[in-house]
Amino acid sequence: MRITHISTVDYRGGAGRAMHRLHHGLQQRGHQSECVVRFQDLPDEPAWVVTPQVDPTVFEVIGAAAIQAQAIDQNRTDLSNIFFSFPYPGVDLSQVTAIQAADIVHLHWIVSFQSPVTLKKLLDLGKPVVWTLHDMWAFTGGCHSAAGCTRYQQDCAPCPLLRQDPHHLPAAVLRDKLELLRSPNLTIVTPSHQMAEKARQSQLFRDMPIHVIPN
């Protein structure tokens, strides 16, 4: 079987290391395992595929950076300093050879790499897609942990992590996810029962298959 993993990083952080262990474990069991990453920390790993040629345009990057800085980073309340990430623009990986050839696509931590729009393009390939959740970002309007908020179970509005939100940014992001990411091809995996329960309570994943597989 040919499995292609997608992750922002190949080894950095807990999620990157978890993917790295899984990647090598699959190879040791005779599977063809490849990885598509945005940032490569292990340049000597021959199986890793980096695709900078499909990066979004500079205008998209500048616009997304401005939203991240002004509407999010400089606009936080005192409730929590947990990561909060705007998901756009995203990198279209749907035509990458390793993705096209895969029997299964496995998503890991994909912040600053994939967006709802680019994920939809992967889902539209018709391949089974597994998404291992290492935080809550996949099913919220942008926060990586809800800090006690349960609004991800409805519409992420109003967001208690932002002082001002005239454009209803988290709600708009969650609407995009609801519109684009509900797919029979998608299976959710979490490393803990606690994360699985939060995913089952979410507006986005409540009707999707969710499995607990420890890292």
Start-end of H helices in 50-164: 58-66, 97-100, 116-123
Within 13 Å of residue 201, how many CA atoms lie on the same side as its CB?
13
Segment 109-120 mean pLDDT:
95
The pLDDT of residue 60 is above 90: no
Give the per-residue pLDDT at 49.
Answer: 60
Do the beta carbons of residue 157 and residue 151 sit within 8 Å? yes
- What letter represents residue 82's amino acid? I
pLDDT, one tens digit per residue, over 162-193 is 999 999 999 999 999 999 999 999 999 999 99
**Mean model confidence pLDDT for the chain:** 92
pLDDT, one tens digit per residue, over 79-100 is 999 999 999 989 999 999 999 9
pTM across the whole model: 0.92
Segment 6-33 mean pLDDT:
91
Listed by start position, the domains of the chain span 2-212
Alpha carbon 4 to chain centroid distance? 15
2-212 CATH = 3.40.50
